């Protein structure tokens, strides 16, 4: 993939400084030896069956060249920055001049220009500094390693920020529906299937966020809500378990988080096998020794599987943590706690903005005309364009950011 | 510390959703039982009278508000009726909104404490609920309006579930004959219905300056009022057809008793928790916007522009205190809503719009 740069681009290393000769000479001075660029292969987080297999690399020039190759237009504009008093890391903001909202372009430019740091080790340092709310669990910018996703974002009037040394490109502004979007949706032939899977992901999002809490609330406070046969099953499975339902839920959720962390730390097939074995062993041993009820295992596993329906990593992590909050509220206040936590999260999501664009647009504020390519995928012979980021926002849409 | 809401703008669709989602939740809570006691099987006609009355008042408010672009009712009152009387009217509206919010909070807390969380202390539910309301007020009307869209979607699901569940139980004979008790009880029930939704109608006059296309605000307001009205009238008819007027009249919270007596197949035989969760969205939107209007009215009386944290916290404490002191005794609360409230509310929700319209016409604005 990087043959072109292997020939032309090299990393600089000062031999003198490395050998220890001389006293505290700057690395940039002295004899420079050229070392070939190392090709870094990373795990692909946005795999698709169709579409390009190309991914951005850690070299910013290569990344920009891929983009200019895909969009050879004079409207493709770049703004260059050097961020970091020590590292002088190259950061490039790319957008389509005739499509992007000038207000948002100027806002992102100002926010990047205002960053004061010694070094930029990854694009995450830029991301953290330009987001609207640092406290919110929800990411307000999207990152991608895919050139086609970046191209699509630019065509919709969004802005891409490249950082030298990072293969993750920041795409802003971002709505909830961008985070729930996958490239597969665009590449699927039949729009009904694409809309079906998209709707399934929203349901999975809701299950991941709320199912354990709902289960705890109903079993702890309102068991009469269950159909009688289901209630018998739940009661029978919990007959000899020593812990209350909420303790069981927290234990199961904790085990799942531990296994998930293990899989991240050992990212090989061995890791997956170990995770699978340990998971099965723990659950079977737990159920057979009456340590834990089967109902909780089913609910916790279902919510874990559902969380993997959320395509964006940051959003997925947020939901896993939010799950602990909703379960805590349900433990304390039953269905009322569940409703309060659901409403608080909903209110927070509705109040969030990404560079002036409401995070829940086009659902809240309601813009049904935008649903064809956000909430669902409309039938279209050409690439559907999202109007959420249209260049001329109505009064107040941007000013409030 | 200033509110994040700087230049709130509500689209016309959101405005319609807001109006409809705040119209129905409290009236189905306590209104059903009260109106059944007043008008028997004709209580639903009282509901329709309430909607017609609301539509007239809403159009008066939009007409008068249109003469003062960018100003809320509290801001233009002194310009129309004079400084001191205008400020006094503003204070009256502030108290009216606060009472509307208190009524909303109290009705929700009663539902929770009496039906679902009987062991949890009243104060705990009140405090948590008021905290969420304050959180909403802090984010301002724009966020509340966005949530109202979800609220109205939840309300439609709510009504659809009620329709499904009542399908097997309905008996048309229970609402016949029409005008069984004569016209006077129906008018009385209409007065009760308007008293319940009165504070919500006046919200229009507070939110109007934030609406994106003010010239076309009438249509979403009318659509919202009609939709909200249909929602609660449908619920009244469902209550009558399933439980009959006599049983409904015996109930304090007839809507909850209706939901508890229904089932959807053998799989959803007790679904009041789900119904409460759906109802909760509209309820919180209502409590949030009424509290916001109370805070905003108070600030505008004293010429303060932006909502600040002290106002929100103070209003939250007042709201929680009022609920705990006056709503803990359910009988007292119910007697107040059934008796004096109609006569306190009527001069405010009808008197103020008519007064302002009169001044508007006299001064040829």
Write down how long chain A is: 401
Tell whether A205 and A326 lie within a shared domain.
yes
Sign of the torsion angle spanned by Cα atoms A105, A108, A114, A117: negative
Residues A167 and A273 in one domain: no
Considering A38-42, A60-64, B91-95, B150-154, the range whose residues carry the highest mean pLDDT is: B91-95
Specify the long-range contacts of residues B166-170, CB closer than 8 Å, at least 24 apart.
B166/B238, B166/B241, B166/B242, B166/B258, B166/B262, B169/B241, B169/B242, B169/B262, B170/B238, B170/B241, B170/B242
* Averaged pLDDT for residues B292-306: 89
φ/ψ of B311, rounded to 5, equals -65, -40
For A171, the enclosing helix (H) or strand (E) is strand A169-172
| pLDDT score, position B93 | 95
Of B112, B136, B270, the CB nearest to A347: B136
| Residue found by looking up tokens 């289960």 in the block | A215
pLDDT band at B78 (very low <50, low <70, confident <90, very high): very high
Please provide the DSSP assignment of A43-68 as one string: --SS--SSS------S-HHHHHHHHH
* CB contact B8 to A (< 8 Å): yes
Euclidean distance between CA atoms B230 and B152, whole angstroms: 12
- Residue A199 token pair: 């709707």
- Structural domain contains residue A197: yes
Asked which of A184, A211, A234 is the last residue of a domain, the reply is A184
Measured N-to-C along each axis, helices A245-265 and A191-221 cross at an angle, to the nearest 10 degrees, of: 140
Is the CB of residue A361 less than 8 Å from the CB of residue A370? Answer: yes
**Partner-chain residue, chosen from B146, B273, B277, that has the shortest CB–CB distance to A350:** B146
* A197 and A165 within one domain: no
**Is the pLDDT at A64 greater than 70, yes or no?**
yes
- Count the Cβ atoms, other than its own, within 10 Å of residue A313: 13
Residue B363: predicted pLDDT:
82
pLDDT tens-place string over residues A246-282: 999 998 899 888 888 887 777 677 777 887 888 888 8
Q: Is residue A368 one of the residues assigned to a domain?
A: no
Q: Are A28 and A108 within one domain?
A: no
A364 to B150: CB separation less than 8 angstroms, yes or no: yes
Q: Which of A345, A302, A298 is nearest to A326 (CA)?
A: A345
Q: What is the mean pLDDT of residues B77-100?
A: 93
CA-CA distance, A63 to A146, in Å (whole number)? 10
User: In this model, does residue A219 exceed pLDDT 50?
Assistant: yes
Sign for the pseudo-dihedral over CA of B12, B13, B14, B17: positive
Range A212-219 average pLDDT: 92
- CB neighbours of A121 closer than 8 A, spacing ≥ 6? A165
- For residue A272, give the 3-state DSSP assignment: helix
In the predicted structure, residue B89 carries a pLDDT above the cut 80:
yes
| pLDDT value for B178 | 76
Name which of B147, B148, B211, B220 to mutate to probe chain A: the one with the most chain A Cβ atoms within 10 A of its Cβ. B147
Other C-beta atoms lying within 10 Å of the C-beta of residue B135: 19
For residue A380, is it within any domain?
no
Cβ within 8 Å, pair B273-A335: yes
Rounded to an integer, what distance in angstroms lies between the CA atom of residue B141 and that of residue B155? 20
Minimal Cα–Cα distance from B82 to chain A, Å? 32
User: A379: phi > 0 → left, psi -120 to 50 → alpha, else beta; which?
Assistant: beta
Contacts of A351 in chain B (CB under 8 A): 4, 139, 143, 146
Q: Residue A11 has what DSSP assignment?
A: E
* Mean pLDDT value across chain B: 88
- Please, which residues have CB within 8 angstroms of residue B215's CB and are 6 or more apart in sequence? B66
Residue B267: the pLDDT is 66
- Per-residue pLDDT, A138: 95
Lowest mean pLDDT among A110-114, A276-280, B144-148: A276-280
**Cα separation of B234 and A280, whole Å?**
51
Mean pLDDT along residues A43-54: 76
Are A313 and A235 part of one and the same domain? yes
The arithmetic mean of pLDDT across residues B115-137, rounded, is 90
Residue A71 sits in the same domain as residue A208: no
In a domain, A388, yes or no: no
Residue A393, pLDDT score: 46
Query: Are A226 and A166 members of one domain?
Result: no
Region B12-344: CATH code:
1.20.1740.10
- Is the pLDDT score of A25 beyond 70? no
Alpha-carbon gap, residue A330 to A187, rounded angstroms: 40
| Residue B217, burial from CB neighbour count under 10 angstroms (0-12, 13-18, 19+) | buried
Higher pLDDT, residue B327 or A369: B327
Using a CB–CB cutoff of 8 Å, tell me whether A206 touches chain B.
no
ipTM, two decimals, is 0.74
CB contact under 8 Å between A366 and B17, yes or no, is yes
CA distance B82 to B218: 27
Distance between CA atoms of A138 and A174, rounded to whole angstroms? Answer: 11
Say how many C-beta atoms besides its own lie within 10 A of residue B357's C-beta. 17
Q: Which of A224, A335, A351 sits opposite B143 (nearest CB)?
A: A351
Q: Which residues in A lie closer than 8 A to residue B276 (C-beta atoms)?
A: 335, 339
Rg of chain A's alpha carbons, rounded to an integer?
25
A37 part of contact set with chain B, CB < 8 Å: no
Domain assignment present for residue A400? The answer is no
Structure tokens, A336? 């009322």
Classify A89 as helix, strand or coil: strand
Q: State which residues form the domain around A159.
A: 50-184
CA dihedral for A56, A58, A62, A67, sign (positive or negative)? positive
Q: What residues contact B191, with CB distance under 8 A and at least 6 apart?
A: B342, B346
Query: Do A10 and A147 reside in the same domain of the chain?
Result: no
Residues comprising chain B, all counted = 365
A159 forms bridges with which residues in the sheet?
A172
Q: What b/e readout covers A158-190, taking b as 16+ CB neighbours within 10 angstroms?
A: bbbbbbbebbbbbbbbbbbbbbbbbbbbbebee
Measure CA A33 to chain center.
39
Cα distance between residue B69 and residue B215, in whole Å: 10
SS3 of residue A33 by DSSP = strand
Q: Which residues on chain A are in Cβ contact (under 8 Å) with B269?
A: 227-228
* Residues in B touching A360 (Cβ below 8 Å): 146
- Domain boundaries defined on chain B: 12-344
Residues A288 and A207 in one domain: yes
Looking only at the bridges linking them, the beta strands covering A159-163 and A169-172 are antiparallel
Cα(A129)–Cα(A270) distance, integer angstroms: 37
In total, how many domains does chain A have? 3
Cβ contact B7–A400 (<8 Å): yes
Residue A271 CA to residue A43 CA, distance in Å, equals 14
Q: Considering only alpha carbons, which residue of chain A is nearest residue B113?
A: A336
- Note whether residue A395 is domain-resident: no
Return the pLDDT at B63: 92
| Same domain (yes/no): A64, A149 | yes
Specify whether A75 is located in the same domain as A156.
Answer: yes
Question: Which residue in B117, B142, B266 is closest to A221 by CB distance?
Answer: B117
Among A136, A152, A184, the domain boundary falls at A184
Same domain, A140 and A206: no
Q: Which two tokens stand for residue A366?
A: 């309601």
């Amino acid at each position: 993939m990087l043959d072109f740069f292997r020939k032309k681009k090299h990393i600089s290393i000062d031999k003198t400084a490395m050998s220890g000769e001389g006293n505290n000479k700057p690395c940039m001075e002295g004899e420079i030896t050229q070392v070939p660029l190392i090709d870094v292969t990373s795990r692909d987080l946005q795999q698709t069956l169709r579409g390009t297999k190309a991914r951005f690399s850690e070299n910013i020039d290569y990344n920009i060249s891929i983009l200019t190759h895909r969009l050879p237009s004079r409207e493709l504009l770049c703004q260059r920055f050097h961020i970091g008093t020590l590292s002088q890391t190259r950061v490039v903001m790319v957008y389509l001049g005739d499509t992007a909202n000038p207000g948002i372009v100027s806002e992102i430019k100002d926010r990047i220009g205002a960053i004061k740091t010694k070094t930029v080790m990854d694009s995450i340092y830029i991301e953290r500094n330009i987001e609207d709310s640092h406290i919110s669990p929800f990411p307000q910018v999207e990152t991608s390693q895919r050139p086609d996703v970046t191209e699509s974002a630019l065509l919709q009037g969004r802005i891409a920020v490249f950082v030298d040394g990072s293969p993750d490109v920041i795409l802003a502004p971002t709505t909830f529906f961008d985070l729930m979007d996958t490239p597969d949706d665009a590449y699927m032939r039949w729009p009904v299937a694409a809309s079906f899977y998209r709707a399934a992901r929203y349901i999975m999002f809701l299950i991941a966020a709320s199912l354990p809490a709902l289960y705890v609330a109903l079993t702890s406070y309102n068991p009469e809500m269950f159909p009688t046969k289901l209630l018998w099953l739940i009661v029978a499975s919990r007959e000899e378990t020593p812990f209350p339902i909420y303790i069981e839920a927290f234990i199961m959720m904790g085990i799942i988080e531990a296994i998930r962390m293990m899989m991240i730390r050992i990212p090989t097939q061995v890791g997956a096998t170990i995770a699978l074995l340990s998971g099965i062993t723990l659950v079977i041993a737990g159920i057979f020794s009456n340590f834990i009820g089967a109902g909780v295992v089913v609910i916790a596993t279902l919510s874990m599987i559902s969380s993997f329906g959320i395509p964006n990593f940051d959003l997925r992590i947020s939901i896993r943590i939010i799950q602990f909050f909703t379960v805590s509220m349900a433990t304390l206040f039953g269905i009322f706690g569940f409703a309060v936590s659901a409403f608080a999260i909903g209110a927070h999501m509705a109040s969030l903005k990404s560079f002036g664009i409401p995070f829940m647009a086009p659902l809240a504020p309601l813009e049904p005309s935008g649903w064809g390519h956000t909430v669902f995928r409309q039938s279209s012979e050409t690439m559907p364009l999202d109007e959420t980021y249209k260049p001329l926002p109505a009064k107040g849409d941007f000013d409030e950011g | 510390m200033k509110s994040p809401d700087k230049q709130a703008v509500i689209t016309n669709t959101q405005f319609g959703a807001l109006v409809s989602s705040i119209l129905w939740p409290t009236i189905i809570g306590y209104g059903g039982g009260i109106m059944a006691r007043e008008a028997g099987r004709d209580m639903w006609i009282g509901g329709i009278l309430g909607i017609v009355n609301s539509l007239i008042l809403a159009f008066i408010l939009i007409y008068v508000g249109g003469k003062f672009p960018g100003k809320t009712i509290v801001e233009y009152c002194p310009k129309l009726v004079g400084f001191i009387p205008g400020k006094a009217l503003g204070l009256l509206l502030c108290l009216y909104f606060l009472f509307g919010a208190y009524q909303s909070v109290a009705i929700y807390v009663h539902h929770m404490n009496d039906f679902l969380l009987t062991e949890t202390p009243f104060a705990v539910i009140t405090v948590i609920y008021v905290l969420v309301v304050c959180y909403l007020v802090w984010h301002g009307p724009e966020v509340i309006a966005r949530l109202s869209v979800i609220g109205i979607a939840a309300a439609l699901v709510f009504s659809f579930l009620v329709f499904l569940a009542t399908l097997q139980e309905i008996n048309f004979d229970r609402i016949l004959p029409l005008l069984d008790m004569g016209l006077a009880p129906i008018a009385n029930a209409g007065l009760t219905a308007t008293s319940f939704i009165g504070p919500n109608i006046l919200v229009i006059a507070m939110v109007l300056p934030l609406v994106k296309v003010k010239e076309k605000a009438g249509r979403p307001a009318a659509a919202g009022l009609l939709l909200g009205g249909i929602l609660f009238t449908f619920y009244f008819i469902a209550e009558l057809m399933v439980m009959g007027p006599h049983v409904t009249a015996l109930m304090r919270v007839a809507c909850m008793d209706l939901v508890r007596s229904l089932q959807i197949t053998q799989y959803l035989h007790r679904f009041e928790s789900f119904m409460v969760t759906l109802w909760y969205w509209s309820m919180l939107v209502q409590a949030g916007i009424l509290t916001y209007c109370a805070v905003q009215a108070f600030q505008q009386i004293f010429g303060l522009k932006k909502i600040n944290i002290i106002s929100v916290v103070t209003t939250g404490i007042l709201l929680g205190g009022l609920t705990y002191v006056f709503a803990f005794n359910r009988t007292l609360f119910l007697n107040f809503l059934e008796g004096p409230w109609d006569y306190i509310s009527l001069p405010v929700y009808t008197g103020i719009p008519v007064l302002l319209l009169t001044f508007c016409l006299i001064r040829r604005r």
